[in-house]
Amino acid sequence: MTPQYFQVAVNAPLSGALTYTATQNVQSLLSRGISVQVPLGKRMVSGVILDTTNEAGAFELKDIETINEELPLLHEAYLQWVEWMAKYYMHPIGQILASTFPPLKKKGRSQEPLNSVIPEVIPSKDLSLTQEQDICLQQLLHVEQFQPFLLHGVTGSGKTEVYMQLLKKTLARGKSALILVPEISLTPQLIQRFASRFKDQIAVIHSHLTPREKTQQWWSVIDGEKKILIGARSALFCPIKNLGVIIVDEEHEPSFKQEEKLKYHARDASIVLAKTHNCPIVLGSATPSLESWQNAKAGKYQLLQMKNRVNDRKMPDVEIIDLKSKKDHDEMPNSVDLPFWLSKPLYLALQSNLENKWQSALFLNRRGTAQMALCTSCGSTFECPNCSISLTLHGQSHLVCHYCDYSEKLPEKCHHCESGDIEKIGLGTELVENDIFRLFPHAKIARADRDEIGGRKDLEELIENMESGNIDILIGTQMIAKGLDFPKLTLVGLVLADVGFNLPDFRATERSFQLLTQVSGRAGRHVDDGGKVFIQTFNPEHPSIVYSKDLQYELFADMELRERQELLYPPFGRLALFRLIGNSNDSVEELATKTALRADHLKKSYTQYEPVQVLGPCPAPIVKIRNNYRHQLLLKCPEPSLLQSFCYQLLGDTKWLPAGTKVQPDIDPVSML
């Protein structure tokens, strides 16, 4: 019997699917996974059929009127994954499904060739593997069903070569592959490396493609023209068929977490996608996330390790410089006047690198010329009117909010006391650039941060200039710490490692360790002595610094895991963060009170919720962003499924929310601000 009722996930903020009937002409054609147009209120909306039944609902139903014939039938592995995503991350399933499809119509997409996405390349052949690479590859090759691997390989150990030879075998089995990398590492350099091996087989999806490019790339995968999809996290939503392997490179990267709308973690979502496709998945990193490391230790992931750089190249020599004692020994000859942030050894190394025509890079995770401007007469600072955060100084007189991009001119006189004693405090990349310019007037200097590098084009230009030797000293934020590989870069300085130590985030130490290791990994990748790294800090005894000196990832991880275990933080406890948002301070406080009462009530009414810890609600570390007032409630629990049902009950039907407020659940939160 042809089914008469259809469950449709419509593109609207609804938690479940809606039931529809169908007009005669389409009824017999409908099944799970088909895209349709349906009436919703007075509008027509798109939707995807999730289920068919013969049971009538209680209401009078509307008809499915048309099938979106252009769109492909979504396959079972993908649908099951979307269903998991919606449930786990508490997000409307119809909206997730809507984001599956490309922005433009298919027809006309190949009228003129698009070649900017995949660069022209010279073909390359498989390299003969090092012993470590070979051992890892062999383990990967004989697995064809679901199995997560953690590939822990030091920077420069040749992980990409392992991926490429694995891909080759995957294609030979007639399967396709998905490779996820952080948006920032998805450079032409990286795409070129894959394209030189797999030429016409590669599609690329990231958030900087034009609608036309995205539509074209999407269809080339769906039509089976391209077998390898390389992308940033959003590539997960391309319903690629017949997956034979998923690779997540730099799996520890926080940018795999999307912080808006659907707050998913692409690494975790990839594991589930591999499960629904029943294929292996490789998570690669030089500094695995503690979540993945613990999974490997517990035997859930198979651990593969590469402890050496290829061709016996050494790891860089890392020297820690204590900035506290800098003043004592920094007698400089020839009246060179060193700025407060630059130590003598780093200065001398920069100078000698310059003389020898090698390249150097300086990292500082802070933009601008100064952290803030302060009136020294009355102590007032310049705050953003929209956010509870002080403005950062750029240039000589430009104050900018790093949260909402609000900007104003630095006034001559203090708003409060009219005094003119305004001091600029702190350090940013722009100031480093100014100082370097003064110290090395003949050097070719470039700066890479969000002010200078607006888009992909800027980044590509920068890479070209590094490769062609048009830059002697590169100054940048973490933007340039990721994945880049420059043959002549032999000296790296981390200007101030302390940035980030004191963030109100239980992952702050882990992040610092990862950053330090990544930054060091940029040095000396193509020279035998491994290059030189200077880490300047006021806290040389900080664990992230002590362990990163000798790149002792495992010691670091074990120490950090012990601390997490004591406090039941991930990976031992699961977290869910409920962001409570209101358009006024009163409304958000009312919301916080109500939420606390509901949580309390749940715990009292159901004894099974005993292991769920409720922390807060309390004001968020940044109480106001873009004129929204923010409080938060943190839930902690060792048992994921228990936490999930608690979250659903806590949120309920949302009818209890005061006017002008909303609740945004964030499951496995990454940013706690």
Number of CB atoms found within 10 A of residue 152's CB: 26
Which of 310, 546, 559, 596 is close enough to bind ligand ADP by CB under 6 A? 310
Judged by beta carbon, residue 134 or residue 550, the one nearer ligand ADP is 134
Determine the interface stretch with ligand ADP among 152-160, 462-470, 547-555, 608-616 (rule: CB under 6 A): 152-160
Determine the interface stretch with ligand ADP among 64-72, 159-167, 433-441, 471-479 (rule: CB under 6 A): 159-167
**What are the φ/ψ torsions at residue 107 (nearest 5 degrees)?**
-65, 145
**What are the φ/ψ torsions at residue 58 (nearest 5 degrees)?**
-85, -15
Token pair of 86, please?
């919606």
Determine the interface stretch with Zn ion among 398-406, 474-482, 560-568, 573-581 (rule: CB under 5 A): 398-406
Asked whether position 176 contacts ligand ADP by CB under 6 A, the answer is: no
3-state helix/strand/coil string of 53-120: ECCCCCCCCCEECEECCCCCCCCHHHHHHHHHHHHHCCCCHHHHHHCCCCCCCCCCCCCCCCCCCCCC
- 37 contacts which partner out of Zn ion, ligand ADP, none, CB within 5 to 8 A by kind? none
Determine the interface stretch with ligand ADP among 158-166, 255-263, 538-546, 630-638 (rule: CB under 6 A): 158-166
**Closest approach of ligand ADP to the CB of residue 513, in Å:** 17
Determine the interface stretch with Zn ion among 165-173, 264-272, 402-410, 510-518 (rule: CB under 5 A): 402-410
Determine the interface stretch with ligand ADP among 8-16, 124-132, 385-393, 396-404 (rule: CB under 6 A): 124-132
Q: Is 552 left (phi over 0), alpha (psi -120 to 50) or beta?
A: beta
Asked whether position 414 contacts Zn ion by CB under 5 A, the answer is: yes
Judged by beta carbon, residue 155 or residue 517, the one nearer ligand ADP is 155
Asked whether position 622 contacts Zn ion by CB under 5 A, the answer is: no
- 378 contacts which partner out of Zn ion, ligand ADP, none, CB within 5 to 8 A by kind? Zn ion
Q: Is the CB of residue 79 less than 8 Å from the CB of residue 29?
A: no
Asked whether position 384 contacts Zn ion by CB under 5 A, the answer is: yes
**Closest approach of Zn ion to the CB of residue 420, in Å:** 9
DSSP three-state, residue 241: coil
Asked whether position 129 contacts ligand ADP by CB under 6 A, the answer is: yes
Asked whether position 133 contacts ligand ADP by CB under 6 A, the answer is: yes
Judged by beta carbon, residue 130 or residue 369, the one nearer ligand ADP is 130
Asked whether position 146 contacts Zn ion by CB under 5 A, the answer is: no
Token pair of 595, please?
């939420």
- 375 contacts which partner out of Zn ion, ligand ADP, none, CB within 5 to 8 A by kind? Zn ion
To which H or E segment does residue 456 belong? helix 456-467
Residue 508 CB contacts under 8 Å (≥ 6 apart), including other chains = 500, 501, 502
**Closest approach of ligand ADP to the CB of residue 460, in Å:** 18
Pairing of strands 302-306, 489-494: unpaired
- 440 contacts which partner out of Zn ion, ligand ADP, none, CB within 5 to 8 A by kind? none
Q: Is the CB of residue 291 less than 8 Å from the CB of residue 158?
A: no
Which string of DSSP letters, residue by residue, matches 589-624?
A: HHHHHHHHHHHHHHHHH-GGGTT-EEEEEEEEEEEE
- 401 contacts which partner out of ligand ADP, Zn ion, none, CB within 5 to 8 A by kind? Zn ion
Asked whether position 100 contacts ligand ADP by CB under 6 A, the answer is: no
Residue 112 CB contacts under 8 Å (≥ 6 apart), including other chains = none
**What are the φ/ψ torsions at residue 521 (nearest 5 degrees)?**
-65, -15
Asked whether position 153 contacts ligand ADP by CB under 6 A, the answer is: yes
Pairing of strands 280-285, 243-249: parallel
How many residues touch ligand ADP under the rule CB under 6 A: the total is: 15
Smallest Cα–Cα separation from 141: which of 175, 180, 170? 170
Asked whether position 381 contacts Zn ion by CB under 5 A, the answer is: no
Residue 415 CB contacts under 8 Å (≥ 6 apart), including other chains = 380, 382
Asked whether position 343 contacts ligand ADP by CB under 6 A, the answer is: no
Which of 109, 159, 511, 630 is close enough to bind ligand ADP by CB under 6 A? 159
Binding mask 477-496 for ligand ADP (x = CB under 6 A): --------x-----------
Asked whether position 121 contacts ligand ADP by CB under 6 A, the answer is: no
Dihedral of the CA atoms 506, 512, 515, 517 (nearest 10)? -120
Which of 146, 341, 406, 440 is close enough to bind Zn ion by CB under 5 A? 406
Number of CB atoms found within 10 A of residue 55's CB: 8
Q: Is the CB of residue 321 less than 8 Å from the CB of residue 534?
A: yes
Q: At CA 485, angle to CA 484 and CA 490, rounded to 5?
A: 115
Which of 148, 156, 428, 493 is close enough to bind ligand ADP by CB under 6 A? 156
Residues 416-435 that bind Zn ion (CB under 5 A): 416-417
Asked whether position 285 contacts ligand ADP by CB under 6 A, the answer is: no
Asked whether position 311 contacts ligand ADP by CB under 6 A, the answer is: yes
Q: Which residues pair with 204 in a beta bridge?
A: 230
Which of 27, 95, 124, 377 is close enough to bind Zn ion by CB under 5 A? 377
Asked whether position 157 contacts ligand ADP by CB under 6 A, the answer is: yes
Q: Is the CB of residue 177 less than 8 Å from the CB of residue 171?
A: yes
Dist CA 287 CA 513 (whole Å):
8
Judged by beta carbon, residue 385 or residue 638, the one nearer Zn ion is 385
- 208 contacts which partner out of ligand ADP, Zn ion, none, CB within 5 to 8 A by kind? none
Residue 276 CB contacts under 8 Å (≥ 6 apart), including other chains = 76, 77, 78, 80, 81, 84
Asked whether position 155 contacts ligand ADP by CB under 6 A, the answer is: yes
Asked whether position 187 contacts ligand ADP by CB under 6 A, the answer is: no
Number of CB atoms found within 10 A of residue 46's CB: 20
- 406 contacts which partner out of Zn ion, ligand ADP, none, CB within 5 to 8 A by kind? Zn ion
Long-range contacts, stretch 434-438, CB < 8 angstroms, 24+ apart: 434/369, 435/339, 435/341, 435/342, 436/350, 436/362, 436/473, 436/475
Which of 61, 404, 561, 623 is close enough to bind Zn ion by CB under 5 A? 404
Determine the interface stretch with Zn ion among 42-50, 191-199, 375-383, 453-461 (rule: CB under 5 A): 375-383
- 155 contacts which partner out of ligand ADP, Zn ion, none, CB within 5 to 8 A by kind? ligand ADP
Asked whether position 375 contacts Zn ion by CB under 5 A, the answer is: yes
- 133 contacts which partner out of Zn ion, ligand ADP, none, CB within 5 to 8 A by kind? ligand ADP
Q: Is the CB of residue 5 less than 8 Å from the CB of residue 56?
A: yes
- 173 contacts which partner out of ligand ADP, Zn ion, none, CB within 5 to 8 A by kind? none
Dist CA 412 CA 399 (whole Å):
13
What b/e readout covers 116-145, taking b as 16+ CB neighbours within 10 angstroms? ebbeebeeeeeeebbebbeebbeebeeeee
Asked whether position 555 contacts Zn ion by CB under 5 A, the answer is: no
| Residues at the site binding Zn ion, with contacts judged by CB under 5 A | 375, 377-378, 380, 384, 386-387, 401, 403-404, 406, 414, 416-417
| Residues at the site binding ligand ADP, with contacts judged by CB under 6 A | 127, 129-130, 133, 153, 155-161, 310-311, 485
